[in-house]
Structure 1
Amino acid sequence: MTAAAAPSSCTLGVIGLGSMGLGAARSALRRGLATWGCDPQPAARAAFEQAGGHAVQHPSELAPHCDAVLVLVVNAAQTEAVLFGEHGLVHGLRRGAVVIASATVDPALPPQWEARLAERGILLIDGPVSGGAKKAAEGQMTVMASGSDAAFAAADAALQAIAGKVYRLGDRAGIGSTVKMVNQHLAGVHIATACEAMALGIKAGADPRQLYEVICNSAGMSWMFENRVPHILDGDYTPLSAVNIFVKDLGIVLDAARALKFPLPLAAAAHQLYLATAAMGLGGEDDSAVVKYYAGLAGLDLPAPAAKAAP
């Protein structure tokens, strides 16, 4: 399912105005949806208000105004607080409204949220997203969605406003999060492998930029290699997606696999690399900082940040 221009009859709430949430909220405004934003940080609320939206501190404040609410927070605990906490959505959303839960979480949790919301007549789309801050800002995120027919009907305008592709994966919550879990397995392993490969090339004496160009035009290239290695080449580890995100997400992957008694040796090895990098005090840096773990082991000189031009 590919998104088109969204009608303006739906009022959307976006909870979590971080790099992706702010981009999604701004995209919804551009596509004609009345949009409310929610974030505990005053700076995030101010940024959204500058774009023309309404911003509030608590989910319960926007709930009465919204037909659909996109929840783009960090993890399951934050999602549960947004839904059911003291200032949660359940204290204000009308019957028939829909929540699109987009954090990467254990696939066992969305069915529980779906059942609890259904008791209040509120619908749920289990809708994790991919595409990062860039795709969110363009309104071109990929949504891996599952839920009832009624939930999809209620969420249609909102999904069209924020997404380039919406994959309808099943009629119950949990399937969307399962597919996102598999995506994060691959993404985490690919980033760790890209860092390992670049460290190997540098140790062996290859020019890092030439190595990058060659691999991007060869069979070893992956999307993550192409996307993350420039951070290493520029010596810029500003967190677009932090090391700690993959400590969490690969932890979710491994926990789910353990429950299934399914071995994941590659994911386990990659998880250890993110844990080791975080233990070095680098958990808040971009996930490409895994290369610094290898640099520390092998005594490598990584590319330095470009010198800033004099004022």
Structure 2
Amino acid sequence: MTQMPAKIGFIGLGNMGRPMAANLARKGATLVVRDADAGRQEGFVREFAVADGSKANAFADVEVVVTMLPNGKIVRQALLDSGIADALPRGSLVIDTSSAEPLLTRQLAEELAHYHIGVVDAPVSGGTPKAIDGTLSIMLGADDEELAARAATVLSLMSARIFRTGALGTGHAMKALNNYVLGAGFVAAAEAYVVGEKFGLDPKLIVDVLNASSGRNVSTEAVFVSEVVTRRFRANFTFGLISKDVGIAAELADRLSIETPLLDQVHRALSDGGKELGMGADYSELVRIFERRADITHA
């Protein structure tokens, strides 16, 4: 593993970015941070005694920038429209940990190459709890092994496992495909759950049998147990986020001219759920939508 960079920039201090940046700070990294929410940025600067990245020239001696933002378009804006790319030194590296579009990531790399800035994609999996613990799984895509090694030095402070997925963009592709499989498993389990309810099966029994049988998946073992049967519906993953990721997978399949009827249906189900309840609603509430359509009521 290569030497830790003398200074790291971190852009995006939201639900995932804040605990990730906090792990870097606690483990001795010298940070410059920026967030679109000035209050959130100021709070982090005060709590961890790190540098304020409000002005682009704060990044003038940064060797590595980590981005954790909503999508690839915003990543591009944060780097190119803000003056940060102009301020970064030649030979610096951008590590995009966002859930972004693989093809946009490759376009960004082409643009940043004019500034002599390298790019790797390193989306994460594990949610906020693992971001807090520093035990995320990370999918690392890079066209250059030296860039991958530099990135891994930083990413190791926030992760339990780093998967080297291949060329630039493959990390983002793998993240989208993973979340498609997550979404498909949840939608299938939700449909089975509601059909069983309507037929008179006890909801808890449905989940217990699934989890002791071949139908179990991460959704039945975690989300259905803690959020659906309990009627809490707080899995901390919104319709907006999961439908975006599944949409990236669908767009990738379309670009590759691969027919994916199930992927398209899962994307539609999650997108429609977000339109009905709001993209900020928890995706586990898709069960409520299915129940309402089946005329199932709960006290």
Structure 2-normalised TM-score? 0.89
Pairwise CA distance, 1:57: 6.2
- Describe the SS at the equivalent of 1:169: strand
Cα distance between partner residues in 2 of 1:199 and 1:246: 21
Give the stretch that moved more between structures: 57-66 or 264-273. 57-66
1:280 counterpart residue number: 276
Distance 1:62 1:202 in 2: 57
Query: 5+ unaligned residues in a row in structure 1: which ranges?
Result: 305-311
Aligned to 2:207: 212
Q: Which residue of 282, 286, 289 maps to 1:293?
A: 289
Partner SS for 1:19: coil
Query: After superposition, where does 1:31-42 map in structure 2 within 5 Å?
Result: 31-42=27-38
Shift of 1:46: 4.4
Give the drift of 1:279. 2.4
1:81 to 64, 77, 80: 77
Q: Which residue of 2 aligns with 1:123?
A: 118
SS of residue paired to 1:166: strand
Amino acid at match of 2:41: R
Q: Does 1:13 align with 2:6?
A: no
Question: In 2, are the aligned partners of 1:96 and 1:123 still within 8 Å (CA)?
Answer: yes
Given that 2:67 and 2:95 are in contact with CA atoms closer than 8 Å, whether structure 1 keeps it comes out as yes
Q: How does 1:61-140 map to 2 (within 5 A)?
A: 62-85=58-81, 87-140=82-135
In 1, distance between residues paired with 2:182 and 2:132?
21
- Asked whether the equivalents of residues 7 and 32 of structure 1 are also in contact (C-alpha less than 8 Å), the reply is no
How large is the RMSD of aligned CA atoms in angstroms?
2.4
- Structure 2: unaligned runs, 5 residues or longer: none
Return the offset for 1:181. Answer: 2.5
| Structure 1 letter corresponding to 2:87 | G
Q: Secondary structure at the match of 2:264?
A: helix
Question: Cα distance, 1:262 vs. partner?
Answer: 0.6
Q: Does 1:245 pair with 2:241?
A: yes
TM normalised by structure 1 equals 0.86
Q: Name the structure, 1 or 2, with higher relative contact order (CA <8 Å, separation 6+).
A: 1
Matched residue type, 1:42: A
The total of aligned residue pairs comes to: 297
Q: Which moved more, 1:234-243 or 1:189-198?
A: 234-243
The residue correspondences of 1:44-55 to structure 2 (distance < 5 A) are 44-49=40-45, 51-54=47-50
| 2:254 corresponds to | 258
The residue number in structure 1 matching 2:171 is: 176
1:195-249 CA deviation, whole Å, 9 max, x = no partner?
2222223222233233333322322111132232222233333462111122222
Relative to structure 1, the CA distance from residue 283 to residue 46 in structure 2 (aligned partners, 3 Å threshold; closer, same or farther) is: same
